[in-house]
């Protein structure tokens, strides 16, 4: 009978899902006919409901997973989630099934985890999908793990929560992508920040790129100043590339566009103080405030051709400029430094002309009239 049982067990593999009929229910173990010459065992505890009563009867059909073939066929409906012995842990390792464990403490390189009465180790890199900055946040938590190593008869058991999470993500990725369509507004978690933007987890491990150019209406040079790893943010789906599975996201589209009210802040012909943001060969970019930056074309700098713009307009320095024109649609403001000097000259002339002592004396006025009359007669 033993040889027949072992021979039957060889027909099955750990992790295989089978259907069977309950043929007997004992105090601890139930027997299930799965169509082989032998019968499989399943823990009676897996046949009980939440109140502790057995919800299955002899003759009922069940679907379960093969978790061991070492000493006959052992089935489980729970995926050995409540594994309590080294044998069950070994079966979980062989079948690639999940176990439940509690993180007891942080140790060198990872965590000590208790799976029922057994001690196991989870490396720091395997506790989560994202990098863990504070190891203490996992202590005391109960998680579902995958057994990735089982050595020395159970003395060295290594677990991975990360693999379990990744499998769950892959399973849910297809469903999550159904909601990711252009125009959709979704909430995601910032997974990482790079020089050119940030990657946002939209659920089930599906990530989209929030490019630095889409982070705000003003020019963003440091993505870390806008978002940080772990932030929960609302983003708008801009584009989904079905071929490459790449997702483009936007943040500024959910913010008020400051250019809609630019003319309420700045008027053409007026003088404003700004800060030199950067200098290019063709002109100087001046930050008028936190939201608006304008350009002084080289021709409006008041400098001769060949002059050193960077020397005349040091980055960070304050400069007075006149707004020449505003193009809200193109998001451009044209500025002039030369016009400031021209306005000052005209103002000085007006002030001088308005002074009482600037009026011509009668004798001077008479002489001027005579000269104009003489010139007129010559032309005739």
One domain, residues 229 and 249 = yes
pLDDT on residue 80? 46
One domain, residues 298 and 336 = yes
Q: Rounded distance, CA 42 to CA 32, Å?
A: 7
Q: Which residues contact 44 (CB under 8 A, 6 or more apart)?
A: 25, 26, 27, 28, 29, 30, 54
One domain, residues 7 and 73 = yes
pLDDT on residue 360? 57
One domain, residues 151 and 197 = no
Domain boundary among 140, 166, 192: 166
Residue 112 within any structural domain of the chain? yes
One domain, residues 267 and 245 = no
**Number of structural domains found in the chain:** 4
Residue 378 within any structural domain of the chain? no
| CATH number of domain containing 43 | 2.40.50.140
One domain, residues 338 and 265 = yes
Domain boundary among 143, 166, 189: 166
One domain, residues 157 and 187 = no
35 phi-psi bin (left φ>0, alpha ψ -120 to 50, beta other): left
Residue 197 within any structural domain of the chain? yes
One domain, residues 234 and 272 = no
Q: Rounded distance, CA 160 to CA 348, Å?
A: 79
One digit per residue, the tens of pLDDT, for the chain of length 380 reads 445 555 555 578 777 778 889 999 999 899 999 876 568 999 888 888 767 788 888 988 888 888 888 778 888 876 544 445 677 788 788 888 888 899 999 999 999 999 877 889 999 999 998 777 788 999 999 999 999 999 887 788 999 999 988 887 777 787 788 889 999 999 999 999 999 999 999 988 789 999 999 999 888 889 999 999 999 999 999 999 989 989 999 999 999 888 888 988 999 999 999 999 999 999 999 999 988 999 999 999 999 988 999 999 999 999 999 999 999 888 899 999 999 988 888 877 887 778 776 555 555 455 556 555 655 554 45
Structural domain that includes position 63: 2-77
One domain, residues 114 and 132 = yes
Task: Give the other-Cβ count within 10 Å of 129's Cβ.
Answer: 16
List alpha helices for 258-328, DSSP H.
262-265, 309-312
The residue whose two tokens read 């001690």 is 119
Q: Rounded distance, CA 307 to CA 313, Å?
A: 11
Domain boundary among 77, 107, 127: 77
pTM of this prediction exceeds 0.85: no
CB 72 within 8 A of CB 29: no
One domain, residues 112 and 44 = no
Q: What share of the chain is helix, strand, coil (3-state, %, to 5)?
A: 30, 35, 35
């Amino acid at each position: 009978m033993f040889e027949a049982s072992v021979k039957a067990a060889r027909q099955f593999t750990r992790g295989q899902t089978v259907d069977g009929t309950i043929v007997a229910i004992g105090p601890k173990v139930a027997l299930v006919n799965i169509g082989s010459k032998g019968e499989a065992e399943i823990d009676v505890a897996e046949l009980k409901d939440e109140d502790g009563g057995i919800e299955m009867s002899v003759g009922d059909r069940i679907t379960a997973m093969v978790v061991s073939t070492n000493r006959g066929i052992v089935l489980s409906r729970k995926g050995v989630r409540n594994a309590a012995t080294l044998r069950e842990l070994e079966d979980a390792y062989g079948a690639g099934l999940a176990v439940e464990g509690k993180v007891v403490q942080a140790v060198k390189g990872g965590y000590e985890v208790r799976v029922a009465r057994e001690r196991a180790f989870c490396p720091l890199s395997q506790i989560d999908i994202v990098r863990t900055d504070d190891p203490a946040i996992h202590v005391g938590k109960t998680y579902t793990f995958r057994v990735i190593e089982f050595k020395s008869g159970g003395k060295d058991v290594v677990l991975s929560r990360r693999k379990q999470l990744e499998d769950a993500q892959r399973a849910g990725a297809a469903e999550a992508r159904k909601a990711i369509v252009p125009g959709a507004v979704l909430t995601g978690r910032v997974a990482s920040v790079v020089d050119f933007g940030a990657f946002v987890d939209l659920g089930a491990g599906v990530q989209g790129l929030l490019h630095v150019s889409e982070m705000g209406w003003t020019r963003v040079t440091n993505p870390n100043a806008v978002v940080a790893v772990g932030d929960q943010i609302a983003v708008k789906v801009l584009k989904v590339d079905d071929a490459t599975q790449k997702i483009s996201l936007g943040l500024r589209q959910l913010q008020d566009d400051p250019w809609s009210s630019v003319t309420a802040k700045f008027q053409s012909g007026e003088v404003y103080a700004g800060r030199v943001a950067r200098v290019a060969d063709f002109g100087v970019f001046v930050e008028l405030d936190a939201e608006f930056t304008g350009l002084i074309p080289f021709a409006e700098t008041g400098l001769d051709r060949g002059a050193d713009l960077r020397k005349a307009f040091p980055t960070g320095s304050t400069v007075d400029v006149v707004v020449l024109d505003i193009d809200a649609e193109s998001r451009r403001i044209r500025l002039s430094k030369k016009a400031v000097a021209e306005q000052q000259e005209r103002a000085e002339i007006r002030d001088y002309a308005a002074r009482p002592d600037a009026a011509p004396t009668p004798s001077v006025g008479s002489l001027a009239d005579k000269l104009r009359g003489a010139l007129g007669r010559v032309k005739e």
